Structure 1
Amino acid sequence: MNKQDYKIHIVGAGISGLVAATVLEQHGYSLVLIEASDRVGGRVKTDIINGYQLDHGFQVLLTEYPAAQKYLDYKSLELQDFLPGASIFKNGKQEIIGDPLRDASLLFSTLFASVGTVTDKLKILKLNTRLKKKTIEEIFSDKEQTTLSYLTELDFSSSMINDFFTPFFSGIFLENKLETSSRMFEFVYKMFGEGSAALPKGGIEEIPKQLLHQLKGTTIKYNTAVSSISDNKILLADGQELESDFIIIATEASSLIPNLKNQAIEWQSCDTLYFETESRTIQKPLIGLIPDQNAVINNIFYHTSLKTAINAGKELLSVTVVDNLGLSDKALLDQVQKELRELCGITSTTFIKHYTIPKSLPKLSELHYEISPSETRLTETIYLAGDIQLNGSLNAAMIAGEKAALGVLENLQGIFK
């Protein structure tokens, strides 16, 4: 049987499914990608509205991600780097802290900021140094505890934890109690410390678009919902049945396979609201943090502080809400605008779009960095991909897609160990 004769299907054209397709193509196989929506990307999407680029949620690429370096062409993405720091809004003031070793312009603001103590700032430098020496493998084999208990054990002051670590990492983990595994904290902190946070000039969806354009022998079925999957068969929502030699499920599998019904993943949710403003209160490309525990806003960012491919001429502001307190859309919008005025001094905002994202990040325990190809195999013909197999990150989505593809190849060729 020739390679081209095999029927291989990937369900889900997010980052993980696209990488799985890339690996299979590299080994000479043709395949079919089945996607429920009208375009690739999964959770990594950008809309053009009112002349602005609106990402589905505030997302960044950490340039140090090993899998991203392997599968993406950074130059053609025209990555725009954030400064390695944050602007903190507290008590009617804005204070900037950051890593002066990586950007000297942050030195004086960091030294004189009232956020944390001098001891805290020395501990941050010490933590940076320690995590640079710690390998990713060591991080993910270390004991797991909550991020909050980890930071407490390192003896950071309550003010440093409340004013910086909690709002900054709540925006990454999408939960505001820092219950996420210390493994994820160390990994993300290491990635921030060794590379940059960046956005493609054309928005976050440029990442899946680039992966798609690299595919040559893949057929994509858009707007095609899958109802169920069994060995060698895919039942579509319209009743059509597809025969398949191998199936990679690059989306949540629990709703597609009967015996996985009780293994549904829990998800972190968030809301992102976009506004047009006349000017910027944060002049540099820095994330703005709101450490007020009674506020609904977690962080803000002016996307127009970076170069963008499309710009309607004013400033684009995104607001991330980790916990919307069950407010209606109208009540949440009113509260966000009130907090922008009172906490950030942002008085003139024109509302553009509100994204409610119920499945932003998977809630996972026992986080892992790697998975072997054989571990992605659910049955002889079904393989599982997606970041839910490892940890909630773009890097994990890529690794899981790669390993699922290698699992199929292992079965086909018997050449991978």
Structure 2
Amino acid sequence: MGTSHAGRYDVVIIGAGAAGLACAADLCAAGLRVRLLEAAGAVGGRMRTDRVKGFTVDRGFQVFNTSYPQVRRRLDLKALELRSFTPGVLVHTENGPRRFTDPTRRLRESRDLLPGRLASARDLAAVAALTARDALAPASALRRGPDGTTRTALADAGVSPELVETFFRPFLSGVFLEDELETSARFFHLVWRSLLRGTLALPAEGIGAVPAQLASRLPPHVLRSGCPVTAVTPGEVAVVGGDTLRARAVVVATGQRAAAELLPGLRVPDGRTVTTLYHAPAEPPTTEPLLFVDSRRRFLNTCVLSAVQPGFSPDGRALVSTSVLGSPGPAETAAVLRAMGEVYGADTDHWELVHRVTVPDALPAMVGPVPLSRTTRFAPGRYVCGDHRATGSLQGALASGARAAREVLEDLAGHGPRGAGS
């Protein structure tokens, strides 16, 4: 097909992940003519759900946090049919399983928080003070606080190296997708706050139901899926097939690697890669919707997804999700399965592997100190948003998309888009 000008818009947005969907919603609400382009056949970016052998499997283990402000603003939580995890984490230690539970929610299950079981009295006091501060402080105060790494933040709070290695390092490795606790201290405090104030849950149709609901609220004909973009130039977007869309502003809302390709000169953070293994044992190793972590860090976390959402399994078998950093080979995968047997106290030799998914750049690296939000302005008429421009979370992606919409509206109202650093 020869080159043609397929459309003229106020704004063209590239990428229908959480950031692009939020940006499109806000710009449409402001009355602009918007086109949202998605290369894949469905929206969501990394927030996608597949059906494999009848099982509902997300593209990597993902949980939905109800406390995020952008989530509460944009989504109908009831329509997602959320079912929650047991609040807390079970840690597999050398001394046996230990529960780290919020006593304000599950007092009867908090016996492992007695001094001497999971932690010393001094450690418990330090964690209580840290928890009270983060739970009660305004999020804005935590964002303005001193930054460093999560490891230094825990040390500054008086948490001993022993408790860091027993609980915080194995648990937070699954949150940040890195096991050195090098993630921004300010981001850690915000995450800890969100865990204390919210509920972790899964939608009945998988995490893909979240972007699907966001997309369903857009006006008709805004979204065009199956439409890869080949180039972005000032005022124009070229798509596969030769068409060119003209726009007063272009927003790149893809993952960081694709954004850097479309916007040469854009500086992006490294990404964290994670692999999730989905097994289907004949009998569930536990019926409790609980997250398990391992103090030896042989995997990031594991849980019985069908104990959270029974509909994830088509035939009554359990569906177990286990995540590990990187992309393990056969020997490492076998070692993970043996570790799961120890943690669950079950024979895993005959667990069927129904699916394996590796997600490159599942989260942006946020090595502290790091800014928690950056302008979306890249160059006159060109903008970039996504969790890599804010925080590695659904909240960060949605907030970055909202910021892109605000900055586009400001610039278009001023009749002269401003430039900005990359």
Q: Is TM (by shorter chain) over 0.5?
A: yes
Tell me how far apart the structure 1 counterparts of residues 64 and 370 of structure 2 sit (CA, whole Å). 20
Amino acid at match of 1:205: G
CA contact (8 A) 1:300 1:317 kept: yes
Which range moved further: 127-136 or 230-239? 230-239
Amino acid at match of 1:267: G
In structure 2, what is the equivalent of residue 257 of structure 1?
263
Tell me how far apart the structure 2 counterparts of residues 15 and 237 of structure 1 sit (CA, whole Å). 23
In structure 1, what is the equivalent of residue 341 of structure 2?
341
Tell me how far apart the structure 1 counterparts of residues 238 and 179 of structure 2 sit (CA, whole Å). 40
Unaligned stretches of 5+ in structure 2?
1-6, 416-422
In structure 1, what is the equivalent of residue 363 of structure 2?
361
Which range moved further: 38-47 or 380-389? 380-389
CA deviations over 1:391-413 (Å, ceiling 9, x no partner)? 11110110110111122222233
State the shift of 1:226 in Å.
Answer: 1.6
Tell me how far apart the structure 2 counterparts of residues 87 and 280 of structure 1 sit (CA, whole Å). 16
In structure 2, what is the equivalent of residue 298 of structure 1?
300
State how 1:372-387 maps to structure 2 within 5 Å: 375-387=375-387
State the shift of 1:314 in Å.
Answer: 1.3
State how 1:57-72 maps to structure 2 within 5 Å: 57-72=60-75
Tell me how far apart the structure 2 counterparts of residues 300 and 18 of structure 1 sit (CA, whole Å). 30
CA contact (8 A) 1:8 1:244 kept: yes
In structure 1, what is the equivalent of residue 272 of structure 2?
268
Q: 1:311 to 1:248 in 2, by over 3 A?
A: same
CA deviations over 1:171-199 (Å, ceiling 9, x no partner)? 00000011101111100000011111121
CA deviations over 1:307-349 (Å, ceiling 9, x no partner)? 344422111100010245xx42x33332222222244423131
Indicate whether 1:45 and 2:48 are aligned.
Answer: yes
Which range moved further: 277-286 or 402-411? 277-286
- Aligned counterpart for 2:293 among listed residues 285, 289, 292: 289
In structure 1, what is the equivalent of residue 281 of structure 2?
277
CA contact (8 A) 2:305 2:312 kept: no
- Give the secondary structure class of the aligned counterpart of 1:332: helix
State how 1:382-393 maps to structure 2 within 5 Å: 382-393=382-393
- Aligned counterpart for 2:82 among listed residues 62, 79, 104: 79
- Aligned counterpart for 1:120 among listed residues 114, 120, 123: 123
CA contact (8 A) 1:33 1:218 kept: no
In structure 2, what is the equivalent of residue 321 of structure 1?
324
Q: 1:209 to 1:309 in 2, by over 3 A?
A: farther
State the shift of 1:237 in Å.
Answer: 4.1
Tell me how far apart the structure 2 counterparts of residues 91 and 139 of structure 1 sit (CA, whole Å). 35
Tell me how far apart the structure 2 counterparts of residues 341 and 309 of structure 1 sit (CA, whole Å). 24
Tell me how far apart the structure 1 counterparts of residues 151 and 60 of structure 2 sit (CA, whole Å). 24
Indicate whether 1:22 and 2:25 are aligned.
Answer: yes
In structure 2, what is the equivalent of residue 137 of structure 1?
140
Please report the TM-score for the alignment, with normalisation by the length of structure 2: 0.89
- Give the secondary structure class of the aligned counterpart of 2:219: coil
CA contact (8 A) 1:115 1:159 kept: no
In structure 1, what is the equivalent of residue 212 of structure 2?
209
Q: 1:281 to 1:97 in 2, by over 3 A?
A: farther
CA deviations over 1:195-214 (Å, ceiling 9, x no partner)? 11121121111100110111
Tell me how far apart the structure 1 counterparts of residues 372 and 156 of structure 2 sit (CA, whole Å). 24
In structure 2, what is the equivalent of residue 409 of structure 1?
409
- Give the secondary structure class of the aligned counterpart of 1:48: strand
Tell me how far apart the structure 1 counterparts of residues 120 and 355 of structure 2 sit (CA, whole Å). 39
- Give the secondary structure class of the aligned counterpart of 1:258: coil
State the shift of 1:218 in Å.
Answer: 4.2
Q: 1:113 to 1:38 in 2, by over 3 A?
A: farther
CA deviations over 1:356-386 (Å, ceiling 9, x no partner)? 1111111135444455xxx322223111111
State how 1:157-236 maps to structure 2 within 5 Å: 157-236=160-239
Aligned length: 402
Unaligned stretches of 5+ in structure 1?
none
- Give the secondary structure class of the aligned counterpart of 2:110: helix
Q: 1:275 to 1:191 in 2, by over 3 A?
A: same
Tell me how far apart the structure 2 counterparts of residues 5 and 323 of structure 1 sit (CA, whole Å). 42
Amino acid at match of 1:123: A
**How high is the sequence identity, in percent, across the aligned residues?**
29
CA contact (8 A) 1:137 1:369 kept: no
Tell me how far apart the structure 2 counterparts of residues 97 and 408 of structure 1 sit (CA, whole Å). 45
In structure 2, what is the equivalent of residue 10 of structure 1?
13
State the shift of 1:34 in Å.
Answer: 1.1
Q: 1:310 to 1:85 in 2, by over 3 A?
A: closer
- Give the secondary structure class of the aligned counterpart of 2:122: helix
